[in-house]
Every structure is written in C-alpha cells, then in structure tokens.
Chain A
Amino acid sequence: MFESVLVANRGEIARRIIRTVQRMGLRAIAVYSEADADLPFVREADEAIPLGPANPAQSYLDAAKVLEAARVSGAQAVHPGYGFFSENAGFARAVIDAGLTWIGPSPEAIEQMGDKINARNLMEAAGVPVAAGTREPVTDLEEAVAAAAGIGYPVMVKTAGGGGGIGMGVAHDEAGLAKAFEQASRAASRFGGTSAILLERYIERARHVEVQILGLADGTVVALGERDCSVQRRHQKVVEETPSPGITQELRERMLAAAVRAGEAVGYLGAGTVECLVDADKQDFVFLEMNTRLQVEHPVTELVTGVDLVEQQLLIAAGEKTAPSVAVRGHAIEFRVYAEDPKRFFPGPGTIDVWVEPSGEGVRVDSGYAEGNTVTPFYDPLMAKLCVFGRTRAEALERARAAVADFKVVGPKNNLPFCAELLEHPEFVGGGYDTGLVARMRA
C-alpha cells in the first residue's frame, strides 16, 4: 500500500478525500492556487504545495506543475477528485509513467467512456439500452439537421467530451437546433475536451437516475444502489437522493444489472457511475453516460450503505481485495449549497461573513469553506454539500428541513432558500418529480 496521496483538487472534495486518507494513516498532500490559499483543505492537509495563479489552466489544470508537486512532496499516489483531471486519460497516463499510483480506472477505460459517442456505442454492444441518437460525431449544422430529422424532435445536443451540463441544449425544431449546436460548439472549444458533438432523442419527462459501481481488484464489478438526481437547474444537479422514489424494485434490479454489465464491458476498476435517464411512466431506462471517477453526490450512497467510497478507491488502487457491503438501509438526501441567488441561480461569489453548519443525528456536511474565506468566481459555485440520513424518506425530509433552517451563510448569495422551498414543494415531497421540476418552480 502506498503511504502518501496527493489530492489534485480543491474545495470540499479535496477536504473530504484528505479526511479519509488521514484516517487510513496515510499522508495527505494538497495542491492549491493563489485564490485558495486560505481554504480549509490547504490547512488540513499534512503538506500543501502552491501551484500558481487562480486561473485553472495555470494551476489545477497544469499537469507539469501538479506532477512536480507530487515529485517534491514524495507523493506515491494521486487522487484526482472530480472535475479537473479526473477524467483526463493523458494525465492518468502521466501519473502512471511517473511511477505513481493513479487512483482511478485505467486510462483506457477513461478514454472509452470519456467520448460519449464511443461510450454509447460500446454500451449498446454490451446490451445496455441506449436512446436513439448519432453513432458518429456530428461535425456541422447541416449534418445535425439531417440527424435530428432521423431521430425526431426534441433532441438533446451535447459535446462528446463535456460534463457537468456545460454546452448541453435541447432543441424542439430546426431553429432551436441551430442555436443549441452553436452553443455546444462554443463550449466544446472553450472548456476543453473534444469538439465532437452528438445528438440524442430527448425524453421530456424523465428522471435522472444513476448507479454507483465499484470495479474490485479481483475483476468483479458490484453495484451499490442508485441515486436520483432529477432536481437540476441548467442541466446541473442540485439535490440527489437514494433510493430513488421514482423507480420500482423491478426496474432498480434491471438498472443495477445493466450498470454491472457496463462496468464489466470496460474492465472497470474503482468507483464509477453509470448515468441513466428513466421514463417514469413507462418504468424504462436508457444509458446516458458513464462517469469514470468519484461523483459529487457520492455521500448519499455512503450514508445508506455505510461504505466509505474514497477508502474503497484507495484500497482498490493499491490492489487490495475488498468486499464492500451492498445492503442498503434507510434514505439519504444531498443538497448542494451553491453560491448563487435562489431565484435565477446566477453566480454570487463573495466573502463569507457568517458560516454556521447544521449538525445533529443523521446530518453530514461536506464543506469547502469556513467563515472569513472568499468564494471566488474562478471555480464552480459549490460551497458545501448538506446531506441527511433517515430511516425513511419522510424522516430524511424532516431532518433536511431542520438542517436547512440551521445552516447560516451570510456573504455570498446562496441557494439555501431554494432548498427550503423545495422541501415544501408537493412534487418533491411526493417523490413523483422529474428533471423539469426546478424550471416549473421558476416558470
């Protein structure tokens, strides 16, 4: 087993990984940009190495600097967290070539799943259901129009290499397609990844349900239940819960089995997530994409399984045999506390004057900030994840209401008022919601 881990990330996820690394008796090494020097993850690491300016290209996304930090600190393994280098096969290879342990799946598995077009084709071949869509990259608008005519409107336009909802757009007709195509092309060139674009049939009233898988060191793949991530704004998740209140046990079993097949098809190692779209009325699903990394919302799975997913990642990367429990008990919900206004969800960075986290039975807070820190405009708006556990969904909702009310943030704009509103919304409370819920709340 390696003895030290460099965490190539920032904010709440760096802090969360550092916690498990240290609990396992290993040395945690942080890297940070100038903008993040005062954040808790820098202080809590055993060693912290400055990378440079706030701009991610000059710090968190500068591979040479991160690898140099690993060298000078004597790190033996690298954990990428989510975002940044987490799904970058070239970086994974560079880590391995430097003689370090990469905490993630093989670069080949990242590549196969990172290209959404390739992933879709691969899943179809493995017997996982996929939505009607393009099997080759769509390179210009003319091709997009022809493809959409074949698939049928509405279509979802997205970048083959993108993530986090960036560049995604729904088109209901040819005019909308031109706009969505232009937006996706622009995002593809700006936020990295390939410039390839794909089109897929868009399901109007769908739930976004994903399955957590673990590829174990002995080659087997296990599924650790699902997460329902249908509360979204701008195609980005805001609230996640497990178990999903919108699927039957029969559908759950089919989805978990398909996710295991998906993992096996790429010889998957470590933690990964198979994202699906569920047609709640038909109780059917299609593969959306696979995320070859730890997911933001992984704590809800941890709360109902008792499995520390970061610990599993570290053990699996070290080649250790593990046998994580797949028994699920109770219900867990995560609220992403974003620095954004609760009405239009526009960014609202700023200095944190007051920061008081809720606590109590069944409450877990993974936060990246503390009082006195500044939330800057350089990175994503996630300040903290408020997670609650209850024996039943009703108990989890009750605990969530109390915890949201007890969470005090003064300074940056924040979406806690939205979370409180959601917890009183009949669709959410009833459980029969879909990905259009937030838009309907703000219509």
Chain B
Amino acid sequence: MAEVRAEMVANVWKVLVAQGDTVEDGDTLVILESMKMEIPVIAEDDGVITELKVAEGDVIQEGDLIAVID
C-alpha cells in the first residue's frame, strides 16, 4: 500500500483518476496548481486506487492525503 501525499499547499486543478482505477508507476493521478504553476502528482507504485481524498477545486495543505494505492 502506498499513500500519496501533497508536497505543498495547492489547489486541486484536475483529478485524472477515480477510486477503483488501476494505475501504473508513473501515471499522473491529479494535477495541482500552486503559485501559477501546474504540479502533476505521479503514482510511485502499480496498483488500484483504493482511496481518493481530493476533488477538483479543493485547497490542500502540505502533507494532506491525496490517494491510497494498493
């Protein structure tokens, strides 16, 4: 199981996956936006998205859980 957490305060601009999706290492899960920069959040494991904690438009804090891949 791998937890994907936010590296910085940001707005969630795009959510590219849904709970239950199968993803591979390197897939983009969500795209964050902070200070006029787009920051893709990448899967670092193969697996299934068992939890997806963010929605487009959310403001998230550093360390917040974005998704769990199992």
Contact = CB atoms under 8 A, between A and B. Distances in A.
Interface stretch (A61-69, A212-220, A375-383): A375-383
A310 to B, nearest CB: 24
Interface in A266-317: none
A349 interface: yes
Contacts of A2: none
B7 A346 contact: yes
Interface stretch (B8-16, B20-28, B47-55): B8-16
Using C-beta atoms within 8 Å of the partner chain, give the interface range for chain B: 10 to 19
Enumerate the 6 nearest inter-chain pairs by beta-carbon distance, A residue then B residue, closest first: A347-B34, A377-B34, A347-B35, A381-B35, A349-B9, A377-B9
Given A377-B8, A377-B59, 6 more contacts: A346-B37, A347-B10, A350-B9, A376-B9, A377-B34, A381-B36
Interface residues of A, number: 17
19 contacts: A166-B36, A191-B36, A339-B35, A346-B37, A347-B9, A347-B10, A347-B39, A349-B8, A349-B35, A350-B62, A376-B9, A377-B11, A377-B33, A377-B35, A378-B35, A379-B35, A380-B35, A381-B35, A381-B36
B2 to A, nearest CB: 20
Majority secondary structure of chain A interface residues (helix, strand, loop or mixed): loop
Contacts of A379: 35-36
Interface string A329-347: 0000000000110000011
B10 to A, nearest CB: 5
Contacts of B7: 346
Interface string A128-157: 000000000000000000000000000000
Contacts of B39: 346-347
B34 to A, nearest CB: 4
A360 B9 CA distance: 34
Given A377-B9, A377-B10, A377-B11, A349 B36 contact: no
